[in-house]
């Protein structure tokens, strides 16, 4: 659900301004980008070409986050190749998620110093190498280490791409560009699984990573050509962002939201991993069923924004909880399961932007590090999903569905139990 992965477009129609190394929503309109050089104030601003920038960033977002979800349908073929059980390989999904989360925290601040384009291009080029190495992994243990490394290098893209959009895309085109970027992150949950399943059936499970490595090479070259050059920044230290994070984790108004964040992708990844491990039939159609929901939710953002954020978040997670509970209770056929997965996807797709909006609003001046923690915790939760599925799938889809329902229900209650922000009403 990548996404929304690092930072996501909010439910309000707003412009965006850079805040350190992440993109942050703000109600203020802006008419010029922040300065990235010593250019004089009367010099005309230099904006990136919108169409090519949005296209290449959206495609990169799709390919990058697909690396997380693609491993789910590849568990069976990889297990057969290595003569082991598929459940024992769920760590290959978790390993990437943990590395991905770490990459968010590591590379965002570094791009303040070394430049957005340099970090993005270097990260994608490095990901081409690490993805190719995953394809060549001789066994599960080597693959585990390589998946962590692949996650770290891939994590250089999302936060820096968001900051680049804030700085280098013309204000009137920023919302469109960031929407295409986050659509790529979200769609990866479906597209990554579909492409991986197709390539594994036609060729071999390693083919997804071979093709991915080649695609990352091509994208690195295109990004180098399309993205505008930027000079390293010398004002401030990347360490400032790191120092700001620990106090945010214990703030009473943010802690319940951070705890709720860990449940979102944990449940989403777990249900799809559980479907794979339990040998559910019709997986191709089940995976594809979520895509229309992912594409439709942003179109409803203006209507959803009328619901107060706390209530909207609780209702979204409760909806997802109901969906997985009904999966466990009803044991539905393929069509019923597809409809319930659409319900789960809708809840998750609404919860993610609501969390980013609420956390950013409550954090105030600490918005950038607060949102970075959110992004890292979101994918730390995603890393737990396969382990939950691996533990419970042996007891059937019902046990997994009920456990995930309880997890999401706890996530729904947490924001309501936490203190209300004094001035925002969130």
- Structural domain span for residue 104: 15-25+49-417
Count of domains forming the chain: 1
Phi–psi pair at 307, nearest 5 degrees: -85, 130
Among 107, 106, 164, 156, CA closest to 130: 156
DSSP SS3 for 83: coil
With respect to residue 411, please indicate whether it lies within any of the assigned structural domains: yes
Q: Is residue 172 part of a domain?
A: yes
Highest mean pLDDT among 243-247, 333-337, 355-359: 333-337
Residue 425 lies in a domain: no
Indicate which CATH number applies to the domain containing 137.
1.20.1250.20
Per-residue model confidence as pLDDT tens digits over 52-75: 999 999 999 999 999 999 999 999
Domain-embedded: residue 335: yes
Torsion angle of the four alpha carbons 367, 369, 372, 377, in this order, in degrees rounded to the nearest 10: -100
Q: Is 333 exposed, middle or buried (0-12, 13-18, 19+ CB in 10 A)?
A: exposed
- What CA–CA distance (Å, rounded) separates 282 from 333? 9
Three-class secondary structure assignment of 260-278: HHHHHHHHHHHHHHHHHHC
Residue-wise pLDDT for 234-263, tens only, equals: 666 667 777 878 888 889 889 999 999 999
| Residue 363 forms part of a structural domain | yes
- Say how far apart CA 155 and CA 34 lie, in whole Å: 24
59, 177 in Cβ contact below 8 A? no
Task: Give the pLDDT confidence of 263-291 residue by residue, as tens digits.
Answer: 998 999 899 999 989 888 888 888 888 88
Most confident listed range (44-48, 103-107, 117-121): 117-121
What SS3 string covers 339-408? HHHHHHHHHHHHHHHHHHHHHHHHHHHHHHHHHHHHHHHHHHHHHHHHHHHHHHHHHCHHHHHHHHHHHH
User: Which is higher by pLDDT, 233 or 382?
Assistant: 382
Residue 19 domain-assigned (yes or no): yes
Q: Global pTM?
A: 0.80
Task: Tell whether 87 is covered by a domain.
Answer: yes
* pLDDT above 50: residue 41: no
Percent of the chain whose pLDDT exceeds 90 = 44
Alpha helices (H) along 136-238: 140-154, 158-168, 171-202, 207-226
Q: Write out the DSSP string of 267-326.
A: HHHHHHHHHHHTT-S-HHHHHHTHHHHHHHGGGGHHHHTTS-HHHHHHHHHHHHHHHHHH
Residue 330 pLDDT: 86
424 found inside a domain: no
Does residue 1 have a pLDDT over 60?
Answer: no
Which structure tokens are listed for 112? 């303040």
Adjacent-strand bridge partners of 18:
23
Q: If residue 413 lies in a helix (H) or strand (E), which one and from where to where?
A: helix 397-417
Pairing of β 22-26 and β 15-19: antiparallel
């Amino acid at each position: 659900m990548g996404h929304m992965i690092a930072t996501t477009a909010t439910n309000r129609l707003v412009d965006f301004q850079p805040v350190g190394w992440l993109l942050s929503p703000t109600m203020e309109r802006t008419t010029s980008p922040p300065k990235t050089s010593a250019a004089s104030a009367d010099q005309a601003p230099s904006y990136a070409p919108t169409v090519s920038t949005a296209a290449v960033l959206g495609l990169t977002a799709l390919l990058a986050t697909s690396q997380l979800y693609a491993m789910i349908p590849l568990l069976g073929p990889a297990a057969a190749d290595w003569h082991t059980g598929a459940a024992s390989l769920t760590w290959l999904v978790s390993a990437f998620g943990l590395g991905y989360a770490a990459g968010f925290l590591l590379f965002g601040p570094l791009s303040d110093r070394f430049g957005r384009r340099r970090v993005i291009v270097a990260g994608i080029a490095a990901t081409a190498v690490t993805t190719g190495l995953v394809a060549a992994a001789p066994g599960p243990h080597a693959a585990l280490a390589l998946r962590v490394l692949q996650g770290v290098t891939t994590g250089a893209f999302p936060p820096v791409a968001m900051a680049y959009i804030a700085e280098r895309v013309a204000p009137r085109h920023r919302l469109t560009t960031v929407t295409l970027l986050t659509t790529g992150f979200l769609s990866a949950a479906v597209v990554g699984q579909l492409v991986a399943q197709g390539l594994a059936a036609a060729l071999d499970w390693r083919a997804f990573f071979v093709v991915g490595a080649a695609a990352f090479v091509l994208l690195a070259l295109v990004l180098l050509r399309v993205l505008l050059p930027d000079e390293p920044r010398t004002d401030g230290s990347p360490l400032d962002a790191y120092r700001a994070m620990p106090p945010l984790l214990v703030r009473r108004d943010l802690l319940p939201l951070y705890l709720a964040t860990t449940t979102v992708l944990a449940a989403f990844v777990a249900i799809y991993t559980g479907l794979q491990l339990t040998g559910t039939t019709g997986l191709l159609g089940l995976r594809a069923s979520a895509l229309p929901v992912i594409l439709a939710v942003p179109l409803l953002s203006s209507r959803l924004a009328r619901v107060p954020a706390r209530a909207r978040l609780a209702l979204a997670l409760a909806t997802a909880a109901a969906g997985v509970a009904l999966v466990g209770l009803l044991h539905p056929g393929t069509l019923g399961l597809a409809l319930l997965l659409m319900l789960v996807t809708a809840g998750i797709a609404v919860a993610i932007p609501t969390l980013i909006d609420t956390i950013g609003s409550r954090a105030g001046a600490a918005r950038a590090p607060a949102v970075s923690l959110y992004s890292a915790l979101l994918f730390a939760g995603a890393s737990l999903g396969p382990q939950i599925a691996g533990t419970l799938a042996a007891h059937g889809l019902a046990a997994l569905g009920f456990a995930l329902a309880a997890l999401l229900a706890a996530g729904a209650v947490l924001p309501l139990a936490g203190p209300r922000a004094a001035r925002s009403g969130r």
